[in-house]
Structure 1
């Protein structure tokens, strides 16, 4: 059996839909004019397809969103720059971000709900501190420091068979002892004005089924 990888890009207006399947671009729909297109993937604990989609960011507090990236724009240097995702992470799924700067303080991770903009309500969080060190925090509790990070590093909070794992550049550096209640959403808090969380991605396994909605611009 050959498994496939699907990548959905959240371009709000497209003249045609292309899906990446196993490294091949397959055009499955063509339009005569630009249209709004959204795809909702059917998630599965065990599936032969893995999907990645740019996070759609909501519940913005003292933050602005450009595509699937966040920037803190107000509220001073406090833990009051919040955001969440519309899409959820299921078992064997993850949230991912790519680091831009190393001189701001921010957290990103997974929670059952987006309670508020503070880091203490993120149930499973990676803390990127403004001195270049990174930590794990769970519901406000410090689980330790795990070294330094650099621009371009990729961090993930991933659920694997009912356990939450934390990864830097594909390498696990901490496994949580707190069992999650699934599904989980992306939950973020930025402290530093001007601080960013970039290229936020939601990924899940799927049975290959998805539904689409096409509407006029």
Structure 2
């Protein structure tokens, strides 16, 4: 009987320890939302809660709620060109992306490789078999394109097959810098030499050298032409003797001396020079496109008016431009025409008026004399 009771007790014990655990008997952490978790008032350090939103346990470390890792988290180490975002939770998973490498074509025909981490690399491809072609430049042709001796400015070189290896050589000139704008254009900053004339431009790349014959021009010095006795056509009361132009008798705007022997050509550079006589006479000296039209001052394109009160006026085609300065006998006057057509008036080397009317055609010496014995001398045209 005693043995039976012991066996029954053992079976009863085993049935109790192998029976399913009651859910109500489990240890349960307080369950809160993310918002509720942050609103807990002065939690104690070491407090535990279960976050309903991200399904994780949190421990309060004395200053903030810290997630308790499950132990199966993936640790990701980012390289320089890897960007990682997110916290690795279900609600905010890791997002990994790389910085893409790029290859960009530049205007000068080179390429720039960038991986977002290392320094950029410029790649130059040689145009095998494509020797540069140099077709034109901005330093030749018209008067305004040509360089003055010892002048520094940019030259635009046009052509084809230019690349980042391009260099520019111009005999007798100093090339200060070269910028390859595209495979068709180069900007070279150049200082011209003292020798005038035309010079070849050479562009050299890894593929070879192209040449533009006479592509760079340095202006030759202007030539001064002093009017000889037979060069000037005179009205019946005028004389030109020993380089002195004068009206010998009478008065009125009806006498002139002019010449078509020498000129300042259209689009060219040049100047008319003369020396004033007495400061108590009336006469106009200037440049005109049609000097043979008449003897009046009202058809002279650009005229310096030497007035009897020692004043200097400017008239253009009969239009009064202003009263600018004074003069005495022996003053040197000049009317200068630039390559661009800009016309300026000067006395003894100082400009006193710049015209608003650009020269557009060939210009010749012309004059109109009102007073007698109001001579001028030293007449010349430089072109």
Q: TM-score, normalised by structure 2?
A: 0.41
Q: Which has the higher contact order (CA 8 A, sep 6+)?
A: 1
CA offset at residue 79 of structure 1? 0.8
Q: How does 1:97-112 map to 2 (within 5 A)?
A: 97-112=274-289
Alpha-carbon RMSD: 1.8
Q: How many residues align?
A: 163
Partner of 1:15: none
Relative to structure 1, is the Cα distance of residues 147 and 46 closer, same or farther in structure 2, using a 3 angstrom cutoff? same
The one of 353, 356, 359 aligned to 1:180: 359
* Greater percentage in strand: 1
Q: Which has the larger radius of gyration?
A: 2
Decide which of 324, 335, 343 is 1:157's aligned counterpart.
Answer: 335
Structure 1: gaps spanning 5 or more residues: 5-44, 205-217
What is the distance in 1 between the residues matched to 2:367 and 2:327? 18
User: Is 1:53 the counterpart of 2:232 in the alignment?
Assistant: no
Distance 2:225 2:274 in 1: 12
Distance 1:93 1:67 in 2: 24
- After superposition, give the CA deviation of every residue in 1:108-136 in whole Å (9 maximum; x if it has no partner): 11010111111111110000001100000
* Alpha-carbon displacement from aligned partner over 1:79-134 (angstroms, at most 9, x marks no partner): 11211122112322010101121111110110101111111111100000011000
| Aligned: 1:83 with 2:285 | no
Of 220, 225, 239, the residue aligned with 1:64 is: 239
Secondary structure at the aligned position of 2:298 is classed as: helix
Segments of 5+ residues of structure 2 without an aligned counterpart are 1-192, 197-216
| Contact 2:334 2:346 (C-alpha < 8 Å) held by counterparts | yes
CA distance in 2, matches of 1:46, 1:81: 42
**Contact conserved, 1:97 with 1:200, CA < 8 A, in 2?**
yes
Distance 1:89 1:68, change over 3 A: farther
Matched, 1:135 2:313: yes
Distance in structure 2 (CA, Å) of the matches to 1:68 and 1:53: 12
Give 2:302's match in structure 1, choosing from 124, 133, 137: 124
* 1:49 partner SS: coil
Q: Is contact 1:105-1:192 (8 Å) kept?
A: yes
Match of 1:194 among 365, 373, 377: 373
Given the two structures, how large is their TM-score scaled by the length of structure 1?
A: 0.70
User: Residue 279 of structure 2 aligns to a residue in which SS?
Assistant: coil
Q: Distance in 2 between matches of 1:79 and 1:3?
A: 47
